[in-house]
Chains A and B, each alone.
Chain A
Amino acid sequence: MTDLLTPVLTENWADQRAWKLVNYERRGGYGALRKALEMDPADVVALVKDSGLRGRGGAGFPTGMKWGFIPQDNPKPKYLVVNADESEPGTCKDIPLMMASPHTLIEGVIISAYAIRSNHAFVYVRGEVLHVVRRLQQAVREAYSAGYAGKNILGTGYDLEIIVHAGAGAYICGEETALLDSLEGRRGQPRLRPPFPAVAGLYASPTVINNVESIASVPCILERGVEWFTSMGTEKSKGMTIYSLSGHVANPGQFEAPLGITLRQLLDVAGGMREGHELKFWTPGGSSTPLLTAEHLDVPLDYEGVAAVKSMLGTKALQCFDETTSVVRTVLRWTEFYKHESCGKCTPCREGTWWLVQILKRMEAGQGQQGDIEKLLDLCDNILGRSFCALGDGATSPITSAIGYFRDEFEAAMHTPAWELFPYERSTIFVREPVGAGA
Chain B
Amino acid sequence: MSELIEPQPPEARHGHAGGDVASEELAGRVGDANGQGHFTTHFDEPSLDYSVTETKITEQTREEMRQIAARYPQPRSALLPMLHLVQSVEGRVTPAGIEACAELLDISPADVSGVATFYTMYKRRPVGEYHVGICTTALCAIVGGDQVYATLQDHLGIGNDETTPEGKITLEHIECNAACDLAPVMMVNWEFFDNTTPEIAIDVVDRLRAGEEVTATRGARVCTWKEAERVLAGFPDGRADEGPTSAPESVLGLRIARQRGWSAPPIPEHHHAESDESEAGS
Q: A434 in the interface, Cβ–Cβ < 8 Å?
A: yes
- Return A88 CB to nearest CB of chain B, in Å: 7
Stretch with Cβ within 8 A of A (4 or more), from B26-34, B161-169, B172-180:
B172-180
**A130 and B190 within 8 A (CB):** yes
A273 at the interface (CB under 8 A from B): no
Query: Nearest A residue to B228 by beta-carbon distance?
Result: A130
State how many residues of chain B have any CB contact under 8 Å with chain A.
115
Interface 9-mer from A61-69, A185-193, A387-395: A185-193
> Is A5 touching B256 in the complex (CB atoms < 8 A)?
yes
From the candidates A11, A91, A427, A435, name the one contacting B142 in the complex (CB within 8 A). Answer: A427
A91-121 contact mask (Cβ, 8 Å, vs B): 1 or 0: 1101110011000000000000000000010
Q: Are B12 and A96 in contact (CB under 8 A)?
A: no
* Docked-complex contact A247 and B139, CB < 8 angstroms: yes
B22 is an interface residue with CB less than 8 A from chain A: no
B187 in complex: contacting residue of A128, A257, A362, CB < 8 Å: A128
The answer to the question of A54 belonging to the interface, with a C-beta cut-off of 8 Å to chain B, is no
If A164-B234, A333-B138 touch, whether A131 touches B243 (CB-CB below 8 Å) is yes
A166–B7 contact, CB under 8 A? Answer: no
Q: Which B residues from 232 to 269 make CB contacts under 8 A with A?
A: 232-234, 236-237, 239-241, 243, 245-257, 260, 262-268
Contacts of A165 in B (CB 8 A): 77, 80-81
Q: Which of B5, B17, B121, B257 sits near A168, CB closer than 8 Å? A: B121
Q: Which of B182, B233, B236, B246 has the most CB of A within 10 A?
A: B246
Instruction: List CB contacts (< 8 Å) of A147-171 with chain B.
Output: 163-171
Which residues from chain A contact B262 at a C-beta distance below 8 Å? 3-6
Cβ of B278 < 8 Å from any Cβ of A? yes
- A364-B138 Cα distance, complex, nearest whole Å: 14
Pair B232/A419 contact, Cβ less than 8 Å: no
In the complex with contacts A129-B178, A337-B175, A367-B5 CB distance below 8 A: yes
Contacts of A227 in B (CB 8 A): 268, 271
15 interchain pairs, CB-CB under 8 A: A5-B260, A131-B216, A168-B80, A169-B120, A170-B119, A185-B77, A227-B268, A243-B253, A247-B183, A254-B252, A257-B253, A344-B41, A362-B5, A428-B147, A437-B196
Show the binding face of B for A, using Cβ within 8 Å: 3-7, 9-10, 12-13, 17, 38, 41-43, 71-74, 76-81, 83-84, 105, 114-115, 118-122, 133, 136-139, 141-144, 146-147, 174-183, 187, 189-200, 203-204, 214-220, 228, 231-234, 236-237, 239-241, 243, 245-257, 260, 262-268, 271, 274-275, 278-279, 282
A-side residues, CB < 8 A to B, are 2-8, 10-11, 13-20, 35, 38, 77, 86-92, 94-96, 99-100, 120, 126-131, 133-135, 137-138, 141, 163-171, 182-188, 203, 224-225, 227-228, 231-232, 240, 243-248, 251-257, 269-270, 287, 317, 319, 321, 325, 329-331, 333-334, 336-337, 339-344, 350, 354, 358, 361-362, 364-365, 367, 369, 417-419, 424-425, 427-430, 432, 434-439
